[in-house]
């Protein structure tokens, strides 16, 4: 289901490029408008109502963070991180955290965590092993293909009459990482650098 949101984001982004509009302004306007519309269509059973979910705002936040980094405005990124965590703390400890406040709490926590992670990236790149960084670079291929590849190991073990739980888990993770790494090197990295 997350790919549904992702493909929708790509479509809206592509429209902004086609119309030569500023992607952040256009995508932001669309996502915010749809999320507000969703407040009034909460009970809708239409399959299209999924695009009225406030989850689409996560893509807007990602764009804002990327924009701030590209402009070199790390100070504003710190403001975003600190204010997001302050909102999360206020919701958690201000007596406001009930079921209706859970979504804003989760949203503000995720925004703060992503902003801090992006701020920490230059320092982390200096200390983390290159092999670990490789898996970070390959994370999109891992995300896309691991659900298709990982189940192959438990299925193969079951066919061989070896349904050993720990071996299935370790084998599935290892196989998925190896196979998706090949996909990253052979397909994704070549497309991105082309």
Cite the DSSP H helix spans in the chain: 2-18, 23-40, 57-71, 74-93, 102-127, 130-137, 139-149, 152-159, 165-183, 189-193
**CA atoms lying within 13 Å on the CB side of residue 24:** 9
Over the stretch 109-132, which tens digit does the pLDDT of each residue have? 888 888 888 888 888 888 888 888
- Residues making up the chain, counted from first to last: 194
Q: What is the pLDDT of residue 94?
A: 64
pLDDT band at 148 (very low <50, low <70, confident <90, very high): very high
> Phi and psi of 21, rounded to 5°?
-105, 155
Q: Output the CA–CA distances (angstroms, integers) from residue 6 to 2, 56, 121, 183, in the order listed.
A: 6, 9, 24, 20
Over the stretch 159-189, which tens digit does the pLDDT of each residue have? 999 989 999 999 999 999 999 999 999 999 8
> Phi and psi of 12, rounded to 5°?
-65, -40
Q: How far apart are CA 119 and CA 88, in angstroms?
A: 19
């Amino acid at each position: 289901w997350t790919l549904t949101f992702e493909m929708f984001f790509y479509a809206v982004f592509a429209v902004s490029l086609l119309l030569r509009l500023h992607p952040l302004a256009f995508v932001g306007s669309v996502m915010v408008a749809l999320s507000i519309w969703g407040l009034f269509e909460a009970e809708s059973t239409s399959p299209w109502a999924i695009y009225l979910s406030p989850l689409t705002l996560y893509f807007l936040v990602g764009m804002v963070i990327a924009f701030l980094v590209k402009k070199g405005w790390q100070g504003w990124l710190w403001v975003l991180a600190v204010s997001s965590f302050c909102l999360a703390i206020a919701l958690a400890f201000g007596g406001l955290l009930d079921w209706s406040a859970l979504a804003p709490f989760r949203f503000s926590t995720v925004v703060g965590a992503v902003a801090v992670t992006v701020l920490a990236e230059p320092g982390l790149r200096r200390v983390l092993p290159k092999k670990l960084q490789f898996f970070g670079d390959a994370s999109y291929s891992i995300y896309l293909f691991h659900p298709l590849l990982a189940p192959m190991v438990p299925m193969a073990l079951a066919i061989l009459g070896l349904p050993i739980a720990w071996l299935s888990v370790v084998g599935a993770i290892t196989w998925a990482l190896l196979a998706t790494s090949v996909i990253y090197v052979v397909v994704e990295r070549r497309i991105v650098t082309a």
